[in-house]
Structure 1
Amino acid sequence: MQQSKTTRIAGGVMLALTVLFCVLPFLSMFSAALQPQGSMPEGIQFTAHPHWENFIDAWNVANITPLLLNSIILVVTVVPCVVIFCSLGGYAFAQLKVPFKGLIYALFLVGLTIPFETMVTPLYYEISDMGILNTRLALILPLIGLNIPFGIVWMRSCFEQMPRDLMEAASIDGAGHFRTFRSIQLPLALPAISSLGILTFLATWNQFLLAVVLENDPNKRTMAGALQAFVGQYQTDVVLLNAGALLIMAPTMLLFIFLQRYFIRAMLAGSVKG
């Protein structure tokens, strides 16, 4: 009984420390965003007269309105493509007899091991040679390709755990592979698909490096790319930088707050299947 109580206390302490470790950076950013512009905030210092107008100024300075539209278009395009391609590909690797399946799957695994930063320069020259530099396609196509290796591995592990009895019963009833995938496998894979969609959304929305490298026009970059507007050649406006960063993070934070139950359920289901 004593050991169980000690375990609960230790678990509570670890949970409190984890929450504190996660919340402190946001408190520091929030307090810095409310300071007078041009100042250099240190640590967590809340002023008696918070400058809420800093958020409006940060929105205007970074011209976030077109960047918000760009990010929405990017997410609406990339996330469905990744989910569809990876669901079909994961099902093919798990259930179908594909020539050289092992070799092709090994290439996807290799894609997971390559550091993202090493591909930025080749991507720049490739996109430039294709003539789509500084367009929305310059971000859409690479982001789809970069998210597919993880999505294929994720969905393959999900479809491999599907009950074989359902496959055999569908085959006896005369269902083909596509009907089996659409009517039987896909509904059972919804937790893994939803978690893949959420993770792809986060990776796409928070993309900064590609937006800065592949988009020369600041108005064609993403919300994350707006942070570049607060970094000058000789100085950085720390107050507006924190205010802008909070504005950029707001959609993802709201998404997690409203969908946290489904996100945790999807992650747990995906881990069990994987």
Structure 2
Amino acid sequence: MIVARRETLTGRVLLILLMTITVVPFVSLFVTALHPSGTYPEGLSWPAHPQWSNFTGAFRAAHMSELLLSSALIVLGVVPASLLLGTMAGFAFGHLRMPGHRIGFLAFVLGLTLPFEGIITPLYYQVRDMGLLNTRWAIILPLIGLFMPFSVLWMRAHFVNMPDELSEAASIDGAGTWQLFWRIHVPLAKPALSSLAILLFLWTWNQFLLAIVLVDDPAKRTMAGALGAFQGQWGTDIPLLCAGSLLILAPTLAIFLIFQRRFVSALLQGSIKG
């Protein structure tokens, strides 16, 4: 009993510490954003007269409405395509197990070790030769390819645990491979699909490197990529910069808070099956 209480107490203390480490930077950004524009606040001191207008000022200065539209278009180009291709490939590797699937699976595993920074130079020249520089396609197409290894492995982890008897019963009833995929396995894969969609959304929305290297026009970047241009223009105005950073972070925080239960349930489901 004493050991169990100590372990429980230690776990709670560690959780509190981790939560504090995570929350303090956001609190610091929020408090700093409320100081008068052009000042240099120190520490976490609450301003005598909070300047809530800094958020509206940052929204106008950064042209947030254009950035929201651009980020939404990029997300709509990346996430559905990555989900479709990753699910189909994951089904092929995890359930159909076609000839050579082990070699193909190994290739996708190796793809996980490929960092964005390591391919940014050849990717730039390839996108330039395709005539896609300074367009949203310069972000959408590379992200679809770069997200494929994780998407395939994520969905394969789901399909590999599906019982073969389910497919055999559907085949006896006359279902082909395509019907087996769409009508049987895809509906059962909704938890894995929803959690993967959340991850892909967060990674696409927060994509910074490809946006600043491949697109010169800030209005065609993701919101995180446009932060570089905003910082260059308003880098000396710390409160306004903090307000802009919080506005850029707000959609990702909202999505995670709304869908966190579904995301955690998908992770727990995968751990139980594995």
Please give the range of the TM-score, normalised by the shorter of the 2 chains: over 0.9
The equivalent residue for 2:210 is: 210
Q: TM-score, normalised by structure 1?
A: 0.94
The equivalent residue for 1:195 is: 195
Quote the Cα distance in structure 2 between the aligned partners of 1:217 and 1:12.
47
Structure 1 unaligned residues grouped into runs of 5+: none
- Higher mean alpha-carbon deviation, 9-18 vs 99-108, is at 99-108
The equivalent residue for 1:6 is: 6
Shift of the 63–114 alpha-carbon distance from structure 1 to 2, 3 Å rule, reads: same
Quote the Cα distance in structure 1 between the aligned partners of 2:45 and 2:134.
40
Contact 2:155 2:192 in 1 (8 A): yes
Quote the Cα distance in structure 2 between the aligned partners of 1:269 and 1:201.
21
The equivalent residue for 1:161 is: 161
Quote the Cα distance in structure 1 between the aligned partners of 2:217 and 2:94.
43
Quote the Cα distance in structure 2 between the aligned partners of 1:232 and 1:189.
44
Which amino acid is 1:271 matched to?
A: S
Which amino acid is 1:168 matched to?
A: E
- Higher mean alpha-carbon deviation, 82-91 vs 163-172, is at 163-172
Contact 2:35 2:239 in 1 (8 A): yes
Contact 2:205 2:222 in 1 (8 A): yes
The equivalent residue for 1:38 is: 38
Give aligned pairs, total.
Answer: 274
Q: Within 5 Å, which residues of 2 pair with 1:175-194?
A: 175-194=175-194
2:38 counterpart of 1:47: no
CA shift, 1:97, in A, is: 4.5
2:268 counterpart of 1:231: no
2:250 counterpart of 1:250: yes
The equivalent residue for 2:29 is: 29
Contact 1:191 1:270 in 2 (8 A): no
CA shift, 1:231, in A, is: 2.7
Indicate the SS of the match to 1:78. Answer: helix
Which amino acid is 2:104 matched to?
A: I
What whole-Å deviation, never above 9, does each CA across 1:14-70 have from its counterpart, x for those lacking one?
A: 221121111111001111111122222333221111111111111122112111100
The equivalent residue for 1:84 is: 84
Quote the Cα distance in structure 2 between the aligned partners of 1:239 and 1:41.
8
What whole-Å deviation, never above 9, does each CA across 1:93-149 have from its counterpart, x for those lacking one?
A: 122243432222222111100111111111111111000111111111011111111
Indicate the SS of the match to 1:231. Answer: helix
Quote the Cα distance in structure 1 between the aligned partners of 2:164 and 2:37.
63
Structure 2 unaligned residues grouped into runs of 5+: none
Shift of the 209–106 alpha-carbon distance from structure 1 to 2, 3 Å rule, reads: same
2:80 counterpart of 1:60: no
CA shift, 1:8, in A, is: 2.1
Quote the Cα distance in structure 1 between the aligned partners of 2:41 and 2:229.
19
Which amino acid is 1:240 matched to?
A: L
Which amino acid is 2:34 matched to?
A: L
CA shift, 1:272, in A, is: 3.5
Quote the Cα distance in structure 1 between the aligned partners of 2:92 and 2:123.
28
RMSD (Å), alpha carbons: 1.7
Q: Percent identity?
A: 52
